[in-house]
Amino acid sequence: MDNAETNIIADNISIQDVIGQILEDGLAEDPIHVLNLDDVVKKHTVWMQQFPRVKPFYAIKCNDTRALVETLEALGTGFDCASKGEIDKVLALGVSPNRIIFAQPAKPIAALLHAKKRGIKLMTFDGKHELDKIKNHYPEADLVLRFRYDSDQVFAQLGRKFGCDPGPEALALLKYAKELQLNVVGLCFHIGSGGNDWGSFEGAIKVSRDLFDAAKVIGYDLTLLDIGGGFPGAKPIPIDPYAEHINRAIEKYFSHHEHVKFIAEPGRYYATSAVTVITHVQSKRMLSEEKGKELIYYYINDGIFGSFYSAGHENQPVYPVLWKPNKNSKLLSWIWGPSCDGLDVFCKDINLPELDIGDVILFENAGAYSIVIANQFNGFPLPRVKVYVTQSTWKALKKAPEGISR
């Protein structure tokens, strides 16, 4: 968890102004993540307006920078934790255990025992062996069955790894849990990440309703539906169509289930647009006549071992913006990271005006699955986080439901 200090800025200072000030000090060796807490607060306001019935449990795996997590804690969200380490990070902020879901269907026994010791009751499962383990080590836990419902429009599929089939397999698991006298309280799914697919949420909510009915026959009156993550977080993509379809599906399939609570596990929704990364060109090379075209390679101080793992491995889009746009004619360009790895390239075949060594490239919408994954392969420094919040947002956070502590 990055403990970067929070800079409180006047309300009329923009993030562009902040970046200008940072660059006045000269180029840094390390990439800089400018984290804008105002953006996180705005995102939360939109979520609450759009999803009045769905409480967000922020997936801390997406970006665990302390200031971001503290902001969400102050705003009163819950948290999705997938490991002992994530649980500890959230509890260390004073979050009550009942605001945490241990959303990891394949838990190490040590983590299960840790959850028990720390009073975290809500957790997911998707298989018989996990139920046996829970029976042996934490039979009082409140269990959420994760079923598989994949979107085919996402760039990060999760269903191949986790989630039982929602048909006979789910029923067999519910029956087995009943035999073990375990306390199943709800269902969850995750359609996958990074698409524009509100339709899959609707489909998964419909399947959930069928499973709620089947569970009742088995003897479980379920009270929780967790609709997972997968909501877009890049500016300017709106979540309105998601809200429209999800709220409608909740209304349609759960209108006679007032006792059912709805939660979600958004990660990238909260983190993506909050971060702009400042990088610069360290080297460049012209490849003449590559397949009949001119191609230029730029080597910058950030790459797949820094902020861009997801761009390199999951085709997550990146958004390069030139700090000082120039009018040179555009050239076909690739952007490489600084390491010696031949896979360390995260932006291919884009048209950019020709850049010089030292030119600054900003990457907007870079807060999700970036800093959390960064490592120091090849001896290059980790990205450095600088946190900013305007005075008025800071004051509001102090007065927020849980209040910010510093």
Ligand X SMILES: Cc1ncc(COP(=O)(O)O)c(C=O)c1O
In angstroms, give the least distance from the CB of 207 to ligand X: 17
Residues 257-276 that bind ligand X (CB under 6 A): 265-269
CB closer to ligand X out of 163 and 338: 163
Residues 51-70 that bind ligand X (CB under 6 A): 59, 62
Residue 163 region by backbone torsions, left for phi larger than 0, else alpha for psi between -120 and 50, else beta: left
18-22 long-range contacts, Cβ below 8 Å, gap at least 24?
18/386, 18/388, 19/276, 19/278, 19/323, 19/362, 22/278, 22/386
Task: Give the amino acid at 97.
Answer: P
In angstroms, give the least distance from the CB of 170 to ligand X: 17
Backbone angles phi, psi at 51, to 5 degrees: -125, 65
One residue of 56, 229, 320, 367 binding ligand X per CB under 6 A:
229
What angle, rounded to 10 degrees, do the helices at 391-399 and 37-50 form? 50
CB closer to ligand X out of 61 and 121: 61
130, 147, 170, 175, 331 from 133: Cα distances, Å: 5, 19, 18, 16, 58
One residue of 31, 78, 166, 228 binding ligand X per CB under 6 A:
228
Cα gap 306→372, rounded to integer Å: 9
In angstroms, give the least distance from the CB of 159 to ligand X: 10
Residues 172-191 that bind ligand X (CB under 6 A): 190
- What number of other Cβ atoms are within 10 A of residue 269's Cβ? 27
Here the tokens at position 134 are: 């829970």
Position 193 contacts ligand X (CB under 6 A): yes
In angstroms, give the least distance from the CB of 188 to ligand X: 8
One residue of 230, 320, 337, 338 binding ligand X per CB under 6 A:
230
Q: Which of 62, 164, 340, 347 is catalytic?
A: 340
CB 91 within 8 A of CB 97: yes
62, 292, 333, 356 from 286: Cα distances, Å: 36, 13, 9, 12
Position 320 contacts ligand X (CB under 6 A): no
Here the tokens at position 403 are: 């209040």
Position 365 contacts ligand X (CB under 6 A): no
CB closer to ligand X out of 62 and 211: 62
Position 158 contacts ligand X (CB under 6 A): yes
Size of the site for ligand X (CB under 6 A): 16
Here the tokens at position 273 are: 């647009």
In angstroms, give the least distance from the CB of 237 to ligand X: 13
Position 231 contacts ligand X (CB under 6 A): yes
In angstroms, give the least distance from the CB of 193 to ligand X: 3
One residue of 38, 39, 73, 80 binding ligand X per CB under 6 A:
80
In angstroms, give the least distance from the CB of 398 to ligand X: 28
Which residue is associated with the tokens 């006979």? Answer: 168
Backbone angles phi, psi at 75, to 5 degrees: -80, -10
CB closer to ligand X out of 108 and 403: 108
340 is catalytic: yes
Position 232 contacts ligand X (CB under 6 A): no
**Binding segment toward ligand X, per CB under 6 A, in 22-30, 173-181, 227-235, 241-249:** 227-235
Cα gap 179→324, rounded to integer Å: 66
Backbone angles phi, psi at 328, to 5 degrees: -55, 155
Task: Give the amino acid at 374.
Answer: A
Residues that bind ligand X (CB under 6 A): 59, 62, 80, 103, 158, 190, 193, 228-231, 265-269
Residues with catalytic annotation? 340
